[in-house]
Structure 1
């Protein structure tokens, strides 16, 4: 049986702001309404479904990592730096303003408006030499 990831729900205090942040940085079409969600379409039919969280309700930050091409990394990272989005090379945030070159690729971490940790990387972990 082939198992394919289809969607996940991303909690946000302002679902429109979070979806717009993501689509603009990643160069994707605007999110579309889907029931109570704003759905952002990715490859292979996968979507991030942004859900509004009630005012004052806590959001537990999640980590979402995206494998991108070298050209996509350059474009996304360019938008991150142009907008002054804080970013770092490591998950602990000890290398601010840097990118990493793990496994012979490039990677960077940053947060969205809801506090979720986003990561873009050009090589999967364990795919090459550090």
Structure 2
């Protein structure tokens, strides 16, 4: 059985700001409106569909991890650094300003404007030593 994640909805207080943050940081095409969503599509077809949540309703932060190439990691991390975005080597934010080297790769955690936890990694978990 071939099952593939197609899309997920990402709550935001400002879907324009959150979608733009992701497309600029990751070098993706601009988000496209679809109904009341603002859709960011990745090369392999997955989309994150940003939806506005009223300002008086809380955002329940989710975690989104992205497997990237070494070159893409460098480019994204450079943007994180240039923007002085807080980032961590671990999900508990105990190692601020650091990169992890789990599984022989590199990884870093940071938050988007809505407060969601984003992670970029160059090796899938469990794929190597480290």
Deviation at 1:44, TM superposition (A): 2.1
Which residue does 2:58 correspond to in 1? 58
Name the CA distance, whole Å, in 1 between partners of 2:52 and 2:35. 12
1:90 — aligned with what? 90
* Structure 1, unaligned runs of 5 or more: none
CA distance in 1, matches of 2:54, 2:39: 18
The alpha-carbon deviation at position 33 of structure 1 amounts to 0.3
2-structure distance, mates of 1:61, 1:11: 9
Moved over 3 A (4+): none
Q: Does 1:36 align with 2:71?
A: no
TM-score by length of 2: 0.99
Aligned CA RMSD, in angstroms, stands at 0.5
Determine the C-alpha separation between the residues in 1 that align with 2:112 and 2:92. Answer: 16
Cα distance in structure 1, aligned partners of 2:33 and 2:53: 16
What residue ranges of structure 2 are gaps of 5+ in the alignment? none
What secondary structure does 1:17 align onto?
A: helix
Matched, 1:122 2:122: yes
- Number of corresponding residues: 130
In the TM superposition, residue 43 of structure 1 has moved relative to its aligned partner by 2.5
TM-score (norm 1): 0.99
